């Protein structure tokens, strides 16, 4: 039986909710009432962002909605989702090397039709370019789709207030198709987002 616990919001936010989920791998559910040996407890977090005043920048507020439920999931899926959550956090860290650390030593990251960045140093430079352009960069994970190769779906938002920036607020969604190497890290990532819409937002805002 699911049990819902609502916690008081930590901050009062404006409109325009943007959901973000975070999975925490608690101890396995055991005992006669456990439906499967691989069941885990799942925690969901919600983030809200204000898009009603794009020229004034973004303000992100967080509140927590805890849902304790028994969901049968495989250990491999939990491991990959945990990897994706930590990768998401790295993009929000303003530490570009922490993004590159999720890639194999000779891993590659390609954004749309740009030449691929190969190796951790090159991937660090790609991450740095986004973090410099958006000092308040925040990325949320929208979905992780398991097909032949995992698809990591994300939304990026921030204010283009870095050196030479337009000062406009941006909110753009896209996805990366991952190939995971034998070392458990990303061997290659092919990223896709609407480049034309991204350029429009840089000029005019959300």
Which domains are present in the chain? 3-204 (3.10.450.50)
Check residue 68 and give its pLDDT.
Answer: 46
Considering 20-29, 50-59, 136-145, 146-155, the range whose residues carry the highest mean pLDDT is 136-145
Q: Which of the residue ranges 14-18, 101-105, 190-194 would you say has the lowest mean pLDDT?
A: 14-18
Beta bridge partners of 66: 5
Task: Look at residue 16 and tell me whether its pLDDT is greater than 60.
Answer: no
Task: Look at residue 205 and tell me whether its pLDDT is greater than 80.
Answer: yes
Q: Centre a 10 Å sphere on the Cβ of residue 102 and count the other Cβ atoms it contains.
A: 21
Cα–Cα distance measured from residue 24 to residue 78, given in angstroms and rounded to the nearest whole number: 9
SS3 138: strand
Q: Which of the residue ranges 21-25, 122-126, 128-132, 189-193 would you say has the lowest mean pLDDT?
A: 21-25
Percent of residues, the chain, with pLDDT higher than 90: 61
Cα–Cα distance measured from residue 96 to residue 137, given in angstroms and rounded to the nearest whole number: 12
| Residue 30: C-alpha distances to residues 33, 36, 71, 108 (Å) | 7, 8, 13, 41
Give pTM, 2 decimals: 0.67
Task: Look at residue 11 and tell me whether its pLDDT is greater than 60.
Answer: no
Check residue 72 and give its pLDDT.
Answer: 61
Cα–Cα distance measured from residue 41 to residue 109, given in angstroms and rounded to the nearest whole number: 33
| Residue 6: C-alpha distances to residues 19, 22, 25, 62 (Å) | 16, 16, 20, 13
Task: Look at residue 118 and tell me whether its pLDDT is greater than 80.
Answer: yes
Cα–Cα distance measured from residue 117 to residue 126, given in angstroms and rounded to the nearest whole number: 7
Residue 186: burial class (beta carbons within 10 Å; 0-12, 13-18, 19+): buried
Nearest in space to 177 (alpha carbons), one of 169, 187, 167: 187
Q: What backbone phi and psi angles, to 5 degrees, belong to 83?
A: -60, -45
Reported as half-sphere exposure (CB side, CA atoms, 13 A), residue 123 has a value of 25
Q: How does pLDDT run across 66-106, given as a tens digit for each residue?
A: 444 455 667 888 899 999 999 999 999 999 999 999 999 99
């Amino acid at each position: 039986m699911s049990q819902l616990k609502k916690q008081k919001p930590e901050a009062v936010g404006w409109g325009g909710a943007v959901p973000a989920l975070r999975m925490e791998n608690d101890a396995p559910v055991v005992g006669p009432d456990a439906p499967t040996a691989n069941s885990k407890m799942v925690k969901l977090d919600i983030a809200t962002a204000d898009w009603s005043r794009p020229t004034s920048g973004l303000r992100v507020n967080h509140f927590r909605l805890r849902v304790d439920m028994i969901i049968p999931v495989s250990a491999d899926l939990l491991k990959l989702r945990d990897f994706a959550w930590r990768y998401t956090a790295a993009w929000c860290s303003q530490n570009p090397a922490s993004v590159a650390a999720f890639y194999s030593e000779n891993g590659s990251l390609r954004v749309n039709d740009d030449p691929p960045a190969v190796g951790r140093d090159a991937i660090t430079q790609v991450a740095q370019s986004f973090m410099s352009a958006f000092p308040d960069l925040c990325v949320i994970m929208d979905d992780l789709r398991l097909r032949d190769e995992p698809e990591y779906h994300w939304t990026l938002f921030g204010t283009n207030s870095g050196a030479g920036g337009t000062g406009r607020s941006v909110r753009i969604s896209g996805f990366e198709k991952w190939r995971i190497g034998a070392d458990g890290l990303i061997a290659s990532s092919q990223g896709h987002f609407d480049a034309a819409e991204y350029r429009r937002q840089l000029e005019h805002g959300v």
